[in-house]
Chains A and B, each alone.
Chain A
Amino acid sequence: MRLKKRIQDVDMQAFIGKMLRTGVTLSACVTVIGGLLYIFRHNDIVPDYRNFTKVGEQYISIVDILKGVSQFKARAIIQLGVLLLIATPIARVIFSVVAFLMEKDYLYTIITLVVLGIICYSIAGGVA
């Protein structure tokens, strides 16, 4: 029983490791594609980052970002890469819930759900 649990722990770790690496690689690829399009296409826009102005709504709303990506807009593609990156550790937490449940480790299933709940609260915009 103890041995069995140990093996499952190792499986879970291997899977989490693979998942994190895939997420980072995928988002880096998307970001680079968008970034290259951005620097070669937008030759007339000089960014002014000295004074803070909220980033345009087209780079905040997920629907608008996806619309931009479908029109092959450079900065929308970068934002998609950024979103994939932010989603990577969140996906890790979601997977951990399932993994702890499969191990019948109910205490840690609850602990992980609490972490997920806090992140969901943050996503829901209760804070922003």
Chain B
Amino acid sequence: MPRDIVLRSFSLYMSILVFTLIILVGAFIAGLLGSLTGLGGGVVIIPLLTLGFNIDIRYAIGTSLVAIIANSSGAAAAYIKEGITNIRLGMFLEIATTIGAVAGAMIAVYFPTHWVAILFGLVLLVTAALQLRKKEDHLEVANGDTLAGKLRLNSSYPTSEGEVHYSVRRVPGGFLLMLLAGMMSALLGIGAGAFKVLGMDHIMHVPFKVSTTTSNFMIGVTAAASSVVYFQRGYIDPGLCFPVVIGVLLGATLGSRILLRSATGTLRMIFSIVISILAAEMIYKGIKTGF
């Protein structure tokens, strides 16, 4: 065999192997950061694939949604055992997030990709701002809405000081925000956990820990509802899925192990700045390619 053919095939061989390994490492870091900061892997993996590797945003969205399912299901398995997740609340709100997800996947076809990039940047900025919000529980001990009572959403969760009871209020408002969160999830390929937590914690006054774990519980089903659409549309490529899904999964697993309730304030601040820069780049790229 001529030497140059051997060399050429070797270099091509390297490029696919190296490509997979680099994405694997990138996805690992994305999963680790997403887990440490509680933002999820999607907000990092999409800019990594589109800005870093120039990958078409449709491939990025499809791949990211699959990675999110892995992440959410893995974490939900751990949280459910602790009894913090409010399964009824999650189940009820999943009606809204899955309707939002199907609607989002439906309108995605009519949405030019540069607009998706711009919207992604804007949502990323909101997420960064939400991340800096002070976390405090609005514990409602009084009876919540009559609707919350009828739906049996009021519950309790274990804390270091024993079982704490809480009531849920403003159910319709929370439901509406979940429609939006589901739509954002499908359209942008993210978990939209920040929006889900905002709806439960801020609007419905669900304790923060219950909000975050219940949000995680809902993310997998929401992403499954839209990813089946993208799968049929051919957005989900096996060559990309392998490094992204496995990388994010490994990173998130490590992240959940080293998260020792330590002071993550500084880390969260740094991360918010980083994703703000990524957001600005996404918006810039969207404007540059689209207009």
- List chain A positions with a Cβ less than 8 A from chain B: 9-10, 12-14, 16-18, 20-21, 23-24, 27-28, 31-32, 34-35, 38-39, 42-47, 49-52, 54-56, 59-60, 74-76, 78-79, 81-83, 85-90, 92-93, 96, 107-108, 111-112, 114-115, 118-119, 121-123, 125, 127-128
A118 near B236 with CB under 8 A, answer: no
In the complex, chain B residues whose CB is within 8 Å of the CB of A83: 231
B9 near A44 with CB under 8 A, answer: yes
In the complex, chain B residues whose CB is within 8 Å of the CB of A32: 242, 246
B81 near A38 with CB under 8 A, answer: no
Count A-B pairs with CB separation below 8 Å. Answer: 203
Q: Is the interface of A mostly helix, strand, loop or mixed?
A: helix
**Could you tell me the distance in whole angstroms from the C-beta of B4 to the nearest C-beta in chain A?**
15
A38 near B232 with CB under 8 A, answer: no
Residue of A nearest to B108 (CB): A127
- List chain B positions with a Cβ less than 8 A from chain A: 9, 12-13, 15-17, 19-20, 53-56, 58-59, 66, 69-70, 72-74, 76-78, 80-81, 83, 85, 87-88, 91-92, 94-95, 98-99, 101-102, 105-106, 151-152, 220-221, 223-229, 231-243, 245-246, 249
Bound-complex Cα distance A93 to B95 (A): 11
Bound-complex Cα distance A13 to B81 (A): 6
B236 near A82 with CB under 8 A, answer: yes
B69 near A88 with CB under 8 A, answer: yes
